[in-house]
Amino acid sequence: MFSKPDQNVAQLGLREGMRVADFGSGTGAYSLSAGRRVGHTGHVYSIEVQKSLVKKLESEIKDSGVKNVECIWGDIEKIHGTKIADHSMDAVIIANVLFEVEDKLGLIDEARRILKKDGKVLFIDWLSSFSGMGPSSEHVIEPKMATDLFIKRGFKLQEKITTSPHHYGIIFTHSHESR
């Protein structure tokens, strides 16, 4: 896979029993990787707005043998759009999706709402536009812009992580202090 989901998820520090939400899960590569990491007692919510992708993802998950990933047809840009309870997730994965959404702060606010105290966000996005792959150059979210958006919503930059040559990764934490 182009953005190396297994390598990226490994850097998040997931453990057995954790609960994770994957925003804009697409083909489910990050959801499946997280599902394998959180084990039998953990749970992953794979959230996708495109109904056709949800059906395809459900089939992929069934074929993979990973039994702790649940697909949700939901809106990651709206508060309560993911249908996940407040402060119930240990981590949220936002991979290659922020450049696509109209309400970027709405997406970040929804992640903040569902995260437990000291929960983490694994944020992965494109460094630039590459020969028709990824976003067009005017839609690229540069690392400083992404960091500013998350900090504006009460997150702290925990660390920058190693990804692929065409992507960057940042882990943010949120302590539920007022912003």
Q: Which of 75-79, 137-141, 159-163, 165-169 has the highest mean pLDDT?
A: 75-79
Q: Which pLDDT band holds residue 134 (cuts at 50, 70, 90)?
A: confident
Better-scored residue on pLDDT, 90 or 135: 90
Handedness of CA 46, 50, 51, 57 (dihedral sign): negative
Q: Which of 49-63, 91-105, 116-130 has the highest mean pLDDT?
A: 91-105
Q: What is the pLDDT of residue 176?
A: 64
Q: Which pLDDT band holds residue 177 (cuts at 50, 70, 90)?
A: low
Which pair of structure tokens corresponds to residue 143? 């690392």
Q: What is the pLDDT of residue 119?
A: 97
Q: What is the pLDDT of residue 164?
A: 84
User: Whole-model pTM?
Assistant: 0.93
Domains of the chain from N-terminus onward: 5-174 (3.40.50.150)
Query: With contact defined as beta carbons under 8 Å apart, do 168 and 162 qualify?
Result: no
Q: How far is CA 55 from the centre of its chain?
A: 19
Question: Does the pLDDT value for residue 109 go beyond 90?
Answer: yes
Question: Does the pLDDT value for residue 132 go beyond 70?
Answer: no
Q: Which residues contact 145 (CB under 8 A, 6 or more apart)?
A: none
Please give the average per-residue pLDDT across 26-46, as a whole number: 95
DSSP state of 176: -
